[in-house]
Structure formats: structure tokens, C-alpha cells
A and B are shown apart, each in its own frame.
Chain A
Amino acid sequence: MSIGILSIIIFLPMVTAFLLMLIPLPSRPTRNVAFGVSLAIFALALYIYTHFELTGALQFKEFYPWIKSYGISYSLGIDGFSLIILMLIATLIPSAYLLLWKNERSKSYWINMLFIQSGISGTLFSLDLFLFYFFWEAMLLPVFMIIGLFGSGNRVFSTLKITIYTIMGSLFMFVSILYLGVAHYYEFGLWSFALSDLVNITSIARDQKILLFFGFMLAFAIKIPLFPFHSWLLQTYSNSPTGGVFLLSSIMAKLGVYALVRFMIPLFPDLFVEFSLYFVALGIFGLVYFGIAAISQMNIKKMFAYSSASHLGFITAGVFALNVQGMMGSAFLIVAHAIATGGLFLLVGVMERHLGIRSISGLGGIATKAPWFTLYFAIMLFCTVGIPGTNGFVAELLIVLGIFHYNPYLGVLSALTVLVAASYMFWVFQKAILVKSDNNVSHMKDLSRHEIVGLFPLAFLILAMGVYPDLFLYKIEPTLQHYLLDILHVGVH
């Protein structure tokens, strides 16, 4: 029995983490090993990217029975949509290590980072709903540890809040998964939790199906988060350590959207189409609502938390727009926003290391002290605002076009995206970074060499994907067409 490449990506960090726990190494070599693992995973991801075929089918599949009596299997595979998220994780995590290089002095921080990476990859590759649920919950534990051990402020309260809140949401999903398994058993006479089997179920009545749909949806809506399931977000983001908030905002939130596409579309295609209008509207509402709420925040992490929620609402709206522009735009915005928000949170982390935690009004005059910092901050900011030449622009443009195609009236509203982020991002740039103030920022230092190198891939991707988007889009397109044409049957557009 050979081990597939996807399994290596999942288990390499986990196994390394267990070994590191056993070997009494100090923090610094632990960090170096963890960084090495993330680079190895980047290399593997690159291998997958180059060998990925341009079809909508699942590739690099692995399948082993796990709990045979209940038909639970260890089944992995990726398609174009998971591929780009894999590439994203593989690129972002090494960058995060470089940015956290001097930040964290504790060994357990690095070990938890390794566990998180395993959990994320497992969630991303699972094709069995039971396995998916396992990883979905497993990735929360190291986050719980990181916030609880290394966070600031009322960290225990926030870590309990996020954990209980999301687990509560996931329980509804778990019940739905079990229901599907049982339904499969009754209909076909054998147990299975594999996605490819569960999509064949026809025996569930419409009313039950709607309940199941919202059972899944609740779990994803909390993770993303959609309005009104966002209230865990602010405290968690503002009390998390840099690494924690980085992983939460730029990767885990995106997995909510990913799971939405991966599982909801094949399992409930008709309901997905039927309820799409509400979710497009809810997404746009989130875009505007969170965007406006962000304006009055004086805590920079809280502002970016709202900003994140605002963009994720927009991403969700694009997914539900039921056309290739909208979906492609969402896929692109997942990448763009992960890079930009991730980069911004990492930069805020650098600032906190030098200056301590401060409100926006306690900052100012950083640009003259730290030009590299400012340059990177500006690039991430332009991406968030959607300036042409950055991938944020392409993504927002596609989503707007997609929503226009879906419903012109909502399309007009969705065009508000050009105003929303600009209204607070430029203000925070002015107040916190550019304008000189009376606050003492003499401790601020420019980025170190590690940090400059670490952020370079992010900045490069933002610009490269903005100037030549098609180079990055063509790998995803067959997958999205497959979702739309073969599963949702919503026509060519």
C-alpha cells in the first residue's frame, strides 16, 4: 500500500509535530524544522499544480476503508477549486513563519502551527463526510490552544467563545451528515459517508432536505462568518496572537466557503439554486453592513476583522450567483483576500511587536520610520480596496459581473464594493501609518530581512495575478464549469 501525495501533505506536519513533542528541542530549532516542513509542502503542492490536468474531475484520489462496518472511508482528492486553496496555503504558511520568526519564543506555538496545517489540509482534501467532519473539528483544537496560551486581553473567554460557538454550529452539520448516512443505508442497503455515494440519495423528502441544507449551512455560516453569526469574530481576532488571527482570517474562513461549494452544491443542487437569491442578498448585505461597521473601529484588528467579514460576504454572494463569472470571482477573491488580509494581519503583528497593542489614534508617523513596512502595507491595502493591477480588482470585477448577470438590481448594489473598503482602508492608512502625530513611535523599526523576504511572494502574487489573471484562472475554470453545468444545470454562463 503506497501513500499518496495528498496523505503526505496532511500527515507530514502532524507526524513532525508529534516527534517534536517527544524530542526535547528548544524553540528556535523547532521553528526551523516547522519552517522546513512548510517549504517541503510548498514543493509538493507545486508538484501537484504542474501535474494537475485541465478537467473538472477529482484528481490525485486516495481511498482506504477506515471503519468498514459503517462504510466510513479515508477518501481524498482535489479538483481545481481545492487546488487553488492548496496553493494558497502552501504559499502563505511559509511566509507566515518568516513573519513570526522572532515573534514567538515558545516551542508549543510552532507545534500548534504544524497541527493547524495538517487539519487544514485534511479538511481540504476529504471526500468522505465523516472524515471531513473529523478534520473540520480537529483543526479547531490547535487554534483553541494558540489563542488560549498566547493571546492577549480576555483570551480565555474569546477562545472558549469561538470554540463553543463553532462546535455548536458543527453539531448541526454532524447530525445532518448522520442523517444522510442513515438515508443512504435505507435506500441502498449499505452504509456510506462518501460524498460520491451520498449525492445519489433520492429518498429524502423536501422538508427534511431543507432542514439538512440549513444544518450544513449553519456550520459554514458561523465559520465564514455570515450575518448574523459573526459576533465571535471581533473578540477572537483582536485577542488572538498574530499567527492565530492570520490562520483564522486568511485560511480557515475561506474553508467555510470552500466547503459550501464542495459539499452543498453536489448534495443539494436544487436547494442551492432555489435559495441562491437569499444568500446573494445576504452576502451583499454583509458586504455593506460590515464595511460600514468597520469605519468607526478604533482597534486596527477589529477593523480588519470587520473588513474580512465584509469581503467574505461578497465572496459568498459570488458563489451563489450561479454563473461562472461569480464563482470564478469568488475563487479569485478567496486568494486575493487571503493574501491581502493575511499580509495585513502579519504586518499589524510586526507593529504590535515593536509598539505594543495600540488603538489607531495612538499610532501615526510610521511611514517615515519604516518604508518597507509602508510599501507592503500599501500593496495589501490596494489589493483590499481593489485597485487595478492587483488581483483584488479582478476578483471584485468578476463578482460584480456575475451578480449583474444573476440579477441586475442586486448587481447595482454589489457595485458598492468599490466604495466600501476604500472608505475605511484609506482612513486607517492615513491615521495609523502616514500622518505624523504626537504619539511616540520611536520604537518602530522597519521590516527585517526575513520579513521582507517573507512578504515578497504575497506582494508578487497580488500584482502578477492582477496583471495577468488568466494565467491563474484557467486551471480552475473546468472545475467551476463542471459544478455549474453538470451538477447545477444552470446553463453556459
Chain B
Amino acid sequence: MSIILALIVLSPLVSSVLIGLLYMFSITQKPLRKCWFTIPALFAPLISFVLGLSGFLYVAKYDVPLHFQPYLWLGVGEYKIYMGFLGDKLSLFMVLFITFVGWLIHLYATAYMSEDKGYGKFFFYFNLFLSSMLLLVLADGPLIMFIGWEGVGLCSYLLISFYFQDNANVVAGNKAFIVNRVGDLGFLIGLAILFFYCSDAGFSYENIAGKISTMPLWLMEIVGIALFIGAMGKSAQIPLYVWLPDAMAGPTPVSALIHAATMVTAGVYMVARFAFLYELIPNIGLFIAYIGAFSALFAAVIATKQSDIKKILAYSTMSQLGYMFIAVGLGAYSSALFHVFTHAFFKALLFMGAGAVIIALHHEQNIFKMGKMRHVTPVVYMSMLIATLAISGIPPFAGFFSKDEILLVAFGSGEYIIWTIAVCSAVLTAYYMFRLFFVVFEGKNAKHVHHPHDVSWVMKAPLVVLALGSLLAGFVGLPSLLGGTHLIGAWLGEWGMRALHVSHETEWLLLALNIAISLLGIGIAYKKFYAYDLSTHKEAKGIVYNKFYVDEVYDLLFVRSIKKLSEFFAVNLDVNLVDKFIMSLSYGFIKLGHVVALMQNAHVRFYALIMMLGISAASCYLILVLG
């Protein structure tokens, strides 16, 4: 049974390699029809989903995690690292929604990318990504997880710079890769420390958890921070978030799958996976929660002024990830994962809906050049409405329950500052999401450059499924207050809910407040942007529109200065100092040669003089010393 864990990862990997080879064949030998790529690309995630589901049911039935270790990956000295897979409740939960949402986005992409020359290449990368992501969640130890972790980073790079002929796209890809690598630096440091303290019996989570208490507290805190730096990179939190908005240069299905639903939540998953560590260091947890809260607010503020539809969604992803980090930081892992789960549905839907609108308008991304889309694509309109309500936190849509739970955790833990920041971000979220929605679908006097057209049903069908998901996903975590059983909380029992000391009255009050603030945000957006006259729109200016100039500051601090340093090393030190010194040695010999060469000047009298001097010296020596 446990072999299915490896098969879940292998299925997209094999299909990816196959598609890659077929693609190389098709561009160098003779072109192949698209179905050669479509069939493996769609089957692989489906197989993984079915296998994941069977593993899920198995674990649900027997309540024991699955282990699988096919081979010794690396055996050095007494340390042995196995290529190992762990299918417990947490990882199988992740597998289920990754493969399900992943499959839907694959399906959507077959339509979205259908006209593209790089169709085969796209699915080569896309399946490779899925495989890495599944390895990341199914790994049984941090080192194998790191392989998946870096693998998704690589695929993200490849897909962001998918249209590589355009410089901006490749620059965005490089930026994503390098910023993520800064995070990986932290991850690697944490991993190395853990390796030497906790790997006597093997380097799986289980062994580490058993040995973690032998570490001194300060070292645990360093490990906690180091690993979290990795999460900051991958999950786009302050200060390593700068790559995410630029990552929107990739095709829209990429933004939906990688930069919204799955990869960016890897950081949250990782912290939850290391719950055994973070529970021992609540200080670091609080730090994480604060970073999450500030990221949520910061991103929400920036999102209010953006005009590129995908960038707005990118900032909203960062903001929602901030909520998840609030929850994991405060130890409410199952709440965080609940939000990961609901977010995957509505955020994938938002991106795919945005993609449909972009396609309908012939690749227009500026929301102020859209407008009136309601009549063009009613299905997209409806599903976008559901997703927007879900992210804004309106019951009974999915986002409401999970966000409400996180706010409750923050309040119940007594972290009122975090709670206040989170509430403010919630108002802003409702505001900027409905700003987007009203402008795109209801805006008046739109001047479309091209005539908009409806999109195909292959694109719309996944939207409908995800819309249902965004409508219903919240009910798996219905709070007991409303008479529900919290299925996710029960499933992830080990990652426990925090016992909160909040009375029922307070809980009702908070619930009502949450709805009220969401409505407030929507109300403001309605007032300002409903039936917005697009012909009078002026491009925004100012510090918020320019994202607080963080990109510019980073560029100055890290890019330009390193280039200057590089020139200093290569020119001033290497050429003018090191090499000059070495060469001066050799020129010194030449000069010495010139001096000595003066002796050989073809003057017989000079030679005679030297001979005389020599003989005199020898005579003196003989007489004075020996004589």
C-alpha cells in the first residue's frame, strides 16, 4: 500500500519527462499534434489524485501513517538518508487538494495555452512542478523535502520566464529564483544545524521530533528562524515578497497553480510540519505571526492602488498568506491549513477567471481598460462573484469560515495588535477585491481595443467546479458555534486547535463584526467603483501605487552594489593588484637580466678589468684568510 506514495510523485514526473522528450522531438524533427501532450499531461495528475485519495481513505480507516523508503539516497559515515515518503494525515490532506486543484488547472490550461507554440514545453514544466510539489509534501524528512522545495522553485523560474524572448519575463524569473534562494540559504542553515543535532537515528521528521528536546533553547530558536526565512521566500512574506508580483509575467494558469494555490503555501506547510519544533519556541511563533500580520496589511494596502488585474491578485495572495502565518505563528496549525485549503479554491478560481477575462480581451491586463464584462462572459462573471465574496469573507462562502477562525485565534490568544491589523486588512481586502470586480464587470464606457469574445467551455468548466468548491469548501470546517463539526480540525488532530478562552457571546460578537467589516469594505468599493466611468479614469500616482519604492531600494542595495563590488574585485584587485604584482616579479627578472647583460658589452678592456678585479680579490682572500 505504501508504495502509492512514491507513485503519486512518480506519475507526474514520468509524464513530464515523456512530454519533454516528445516536445524535443516535435521541435527538432517533425511537429506533433497537441493530443500527444494533452493526454499524458491530464492523466498524470488524475492518477496522482486517485492514488492520493486511496491513501487518504486508507489512513482514515486504519489511522496509521504510511511509510515508504525505496532506497538509500545518501549514506555518509554513520549518517544515512533514505529517499523516504511519509503519508500521514497532514501530507495526504495536502496531496488531495494539490492534485485536485492541480488537475483542474491543467485542464483549464489545455484551453488557455492551446494556441501557444510552447504547448508541449508548458506541460513538461507544469507536470514537473506538480511532481516536485508532491515530493515536497510527501517527503519524510527535511532533506528530501528540500529537494522538492528547490524543485518547485526551479519550475517556478522556468514558468515565469516561459516567454523567454522578452527580457522582462526572464528578469522576473531570475528575480523569483534568486529571492527564493535567499530564503533557501536560511532553510539550508536550519537544516544543517538539525542534521548534526538530531540525525543519529536517521533524518526523518520522526527522529528529529524525538531528539529535538536535546537541543539548547537558543539553538532551537535559531533553527526556527532559519527555517522560517525559507518560508518567507517561498511564501512571499516581508521582506522576501518582492518576487511574487513580478512572477505574474508567467502564463495565467501558472499564476493560478503555482503562485496562488500550491507552491506559495509550501512555507505554511513547512512550519506546520515542524510544529514539534515551533511549539517549543513560542517567541519565534509570535515573530512569525507578526511578520504574517504586517505582510497581510502591507500587501492589502498596495493592492488598493494597482491596476494590473494579476498584480492585484498577487498582492491579495501575499495578504492571505499573511493570515495563514498569523495562524501558524500562534500555534493554530489546523486553522492555517483550513485557510490554505479554502484559499486554494477561491484564489485559483480568481486567477482562472482573470485569465478568462484576459483571453476574452485579447491579453489586456489593465482593469481600467476592461469594463462591462458581465455581459460578455456571464459564467465567468458568476464564478468571479462567488470567489470575490469568498475572499472578502462573506458567509457562507469558503473564505469566511477560515478567515473568521484565524481572527478568532488571534483574538483568543490575546494578541490584540495582530488581531487589529488582521481586521484592518480584512476591510481592505473586501474593498480592493470589489474594486476589481466592479471595474471589470460593471465599468461603464469601456473602450475595448479588441472586440471581446466569450471563452471556450474547457476553460469555463473548471471555473464552475472551483466555484462550487469556493461555495462549499468552508463547510468542512464549520465552527461548533454554528452547530457544525470541524472536520479539518478533527482530521489534523495532532496539529491541534488551540484551546481558546473565548466565551460564546464574544465569539458571536466577533462573527458579526467580521461580517460587518467585510460589508463595510464592499460598501466603500460600491460607492466609489460601481458603474465606474472608465473614460474619466486617470492613472494613479503616489507612494502606494509605486509599492513604497521597495523594488527600487532593493535594486540599489543588493543589485547595483554587488555589481560595483564585482567590478572592484575583478578590475581593481585582480588586474591592478594581484596580477600586477605577479607580473612585476617577472618583469623584475627581465630588468635584472638587462643589468647583468651590461657586463657582456664586447669591450675587451672591460673584460680584462673584471679579470683583474677577480684575481686581486682571490689573492687577497688567499693572503688574508688562509695566509
Residues of A within 8 A of B (CB): 164-165, 228, 230-232, 234, 289, 292-297, 306, 323-325, 328, 365, 367-368, 371-372, 375, 382, 387-389, 393-394, 397-398, 400-401, 404-405, 408, 411-412, 415-416, 418-419, 422-423, 426-427, 430, 434-436, 446, 468-470, 473-474, 477, 481, 492-493
Contact = CB atoms under 8 A, between A and B. Distances in A.
Contacts of B184: 418
Interface stretch (B190-198, B313-321, B333-341): B190-198
A422 B567 CA distance: 18
Given A388-B151, A400-B192, A435-B167, A293 B574 contact: yes
Contacts of A419: 178, 181-182, 185
B4 interface: no
B569 A430 contact: no
A418 B188 contact: yes
Given A324-B77, A372-B24, A404-B193, A427 B174 contact: yes
Contacts of A469: 73-74
Contacts of B582: 165, 231-232
A430 B171 contact: yes
A37 B15 CA distance: 39
B574 A371 contact: no
B165 A435 contact: yes
A359 to B, nearest CB: 14
Given A164-B586, A398-B76, A292 B565 contact: yes
17 contacts: A228-B578, A230-B578, A231-B579, A232-B582, A306-B570, A375-B24, A394-B74, A397-B188, A415-B185, A415-B192, A419-B178, A426-B157, A426-B177, A426-B178, A430-B170, A430-B173, A470-B75
Interface in B557-615: 562-563, 565-567, 569-570, 574, 578-579, 582, 586
Nearest to A235: B579
B526 interface: no
* Top 6 closest pairs, chain A to chain B, by CB: A231-B579, A296-B566, A388-B147, A295-B566, A434-B164, A293-B569
Given A165-B582, A231-B582, A296-B567, A412 B189 contact: yes
Nearest to B20: A375
Interface in B515-565: 562-563, 565
B65 to A, nearest CB: 24
B37 to A, nearest CB: 16
A388 B567 contact: no
Interface in B379-416: none
Interface residues of B, number: 53
B170 A401 contact: no
B156 to A, nearest CB: 12
Contacts of A397: 143, 188
A426 B167 CA distance: 13
B164 A435 contact: yes
B287 interface: no
A232 B184 CA distance: 34
A328 B76 contact: yes
A422 B78 CA distance: 32
- Among A323, A325, A418, chain B packs the most CB atoms within 10 A around the CB of A418
A293 B566 contact: yes
Nearest to B164: A434
Given A328-B76, A372-B28, A430-B174, A422 B165 contact: no
A17 to B, nearest CB: 32
Nearest to A434: B164
Contact of A401 (B73, B154, B192, B562): B192
A432 to B, nearest CB: 11
A418 B586 contact: no
B72 interface: yes
A422 B151 contact: no
- Among B154, B170, B173, B586, chain A packs the most CB atoms within 10 A around the CB of B170
Given A372-B24, A412-B189, A430 B167 contact: yes
Given A388-B147, A430-B174, A371 B181 contact: no
Given A371-B28, A404-B196, A470-B72, A387 B154 contact: yes
B269 to A, nearest CB: 17
A416 B562 CA distance: 14
Nearest to A306: B570
B166 interface: yes
Interface string B140-157: 000100111011001001
Interface string B74-87: 11111100000000
B75 A371 contact: no
- Among A408, A415, A436, chain B packs the most CB atoms within 10 A around the CB of A415
B589 to A, nearest CB: 10
A296 B178 CA distance: 17
Given A292-B565, A296-B563, A405 B196 contact: yes
Contacts of B62: none
A404 B165 contact: no
A415 B184 CA distance: 9
A431 B375 CA distance: 44
A368 B189 contact: no
